[in-house]
Amino acid sequence: MDRQTPVQRFQQLLHRYPALGPAMVLVVAIIVFTLLNTRFVSPSNLSLITQQVAVVGGLAVGQTIIILTAGIDLSVGAIMVLSSLVMAKTAVSSGLPGPLALLLGLVVGAAAGLLNGLLVTKLNLPPFIATLGTLSIFTALALLYSSGQSVRGQNMPGLLTWTGNTFSFGGFQFTWGVLIMLLLYVVFGFALSRTAWGRHVYAVGDDSEAARLAGISVNRVLLSVYLAAGVVFAITAWILIGRIDSASPNAGADANLDSITAVVIGGTSLFGGRGTVWGSLIGALIVGVFRNGLSLAGYDVLYQTLAVGVLVILAVAVDQWIRKGRA
């Protein structure tokens, strides 16, 4: 029997546990930035980081389940913004009660996700092209519906801005939006690891033709993934309203790329079939830690962007290396 080298064993370990590599990077980053500035690990600063990543972390949940099927969604930010505007304007302009306005926003997010899923499954459009088109559609709808104007949080029902309220836990200050984001990870982490639906998602992403021959309804799985992702993006819209205390058509300008960045850095393969939602949470935290840590260290914001770009390239390179070892 061929003996494996330590490098090969490490390669297989990373393949078996995709979130292990990002977790190591996160720990090292926290240590380095603490040495550069001891204020980094203060409860107030760590609380700020978690609040800053709540929106991107929420979007990353939906983006993860789509990328696990070897797809991608470029319209995540536009769906979130459109849903947030529907929630806010129906409550403020139409006088709809907060719970109904929230429910209507969730329906809009689900409908947007369903449209993406139908374009991919029924028209057989590549996910990149389909969601690139709906990105423009949803962005235009958001601008037309809002007339390009924001809705201030003080005019909304308390339920819609509730996600921005804070609570104390162990000396840290968290928003309810952060808690909702974590609940999304718990739900989808369980669904992907403990249910037949989750196993089908991984199977479709790993090899859709083999999954079809095994009796899995590939189109049904893909449709359910895009629909579920749409609901997640609408829930994140609720988190966004609380985070910025308004609903703005100009919010989330970088949300699409930020969500993909978090997923890729978190160890999910762009080729599908490998990754976890928990890795995406770690990826979102890594981005937040680097930006915050470099800022406290006195580096220009351009270096923060540079660092994130380097992390993305390294993450994809490592993924290629892991896949090569598997082959």
Per-residue confidence at 326, pLDDT binned at 50, 70, 90?
Answer: low
CB 89 within 8 A of CB 146: yes
Q: Is residue 322 part of a domain?
A: no
Query: Measured between alpha carbons, how far is 123 from 119 in angstroms, rounded to an integer?
Result: 5
CB 327 within 8 A of CB 70: no
Q: Is the pLDDT of residue 327 over 90?
A: no
Amino acid at 74: L
Residue the block writes with tokens 């982490």: 189
* Structural domain boundaries enclosing 107: 43-253
Q: Which two tokens stand for residue 245?
A: 């205390």
Q: Is residue 310 part of a domain?
A: no
- Domain total for the chain? 1
The enclosing domain of 57 has a CATH number of 1.10.3470.10
| Whole-Å CA distances, 134 to 74, 79, 226, 229, 282 | 8, 9, 13, 14, 28
DSSP run (H or E) holding 13: helix 6-16
Query: Measured between alpha carbons, how far is 300 from 172 in angstroms, rounded to an integer?
Result: 27
Please give the pLDDT value at position 176: 97
- Counted residue by residue, the chain has a size of 327
Please give the pLDDT value at position 2: 57
Q: Can you point out the beta strands (E) in the chain?
A: 151-152, 166-169, 172-175, 246-247
Whole-structure pTM value: 0.93
Q: Which two tokens stand for residue 267?
A: 């160890």
Nearest to 265, CA basis, from 306, 229, 316, 301: 316
Contacts of 246 (CB under 8 A, 6+ apart): 88, 150, 151, 152, 153
Q: Is residue 241 part of a domain?
A: yes
Residue 215: left if φ>0, alpha if ψ -120 to 50, beta else—which one? left
Q: Is residue 142 part of a domain?
A: yes
Q: Is residue 148 part of a domain?
A: yes
Query: Measured between alpha carbons, how far is 272 from 208 in angstroms, rounded to an integer?
Result: 10
Q: Is the pLDDT of residue 82 over 60?
A: yes
Query: Measured between alpha carbons, how far is 92 from 97 in angstroms, rounded to an integer?
Result: 9
Contacts of 313 (CB under 8 A, 6+ apart): none
Q: Is residue 318 part of a domain?
A: no
124 beta partners: none
Could you read off the pLDDT of 22-66 as tens digits, one per residue?
Answer: 899 899 999 999 999 989 999 999 999 999 999 999 999 999 999
Amino acid at 209: E
Q: Is the pLDDT of residue 213 over 50?
A: yes
Nearest to 238, CA basis, from 158, 172, 173: 158
Q: Which two tokens stand for residue 57?
A: 């972390």
Query: Measured between alpha carbons, how far is 59 from 72 in angstroms, rounded to an integer?
Result: 12
Q: Is residue 1 part of a domain?
A: no
Could you read off the pLDDT of 281-293 as tens digits, one per residue?
Answer: 999 999 999 989 9
Could you read off the pLDDT of 239-264 as tens digits, one per residue?
Answer: 999 999 999 999 887 888 889 999 99
Q: Is the pLDDT of residue 1 over 70?
A: no
Q: Is residue 5 part of a domain?
A: no
- Tell me, rounded to whole angstroms, the distance of Cα 79 from its chain centroid: 13
Please give the pLDDT value at position 16: 81
Query: Measured between alpha carbons, how far is 325 from 327 in angstroms, rounded to an integer?
Result: 5
Query: Measured between alpha carbons, how far is 255 from 248 in angstroms, rounded to an integer?
Result: 14
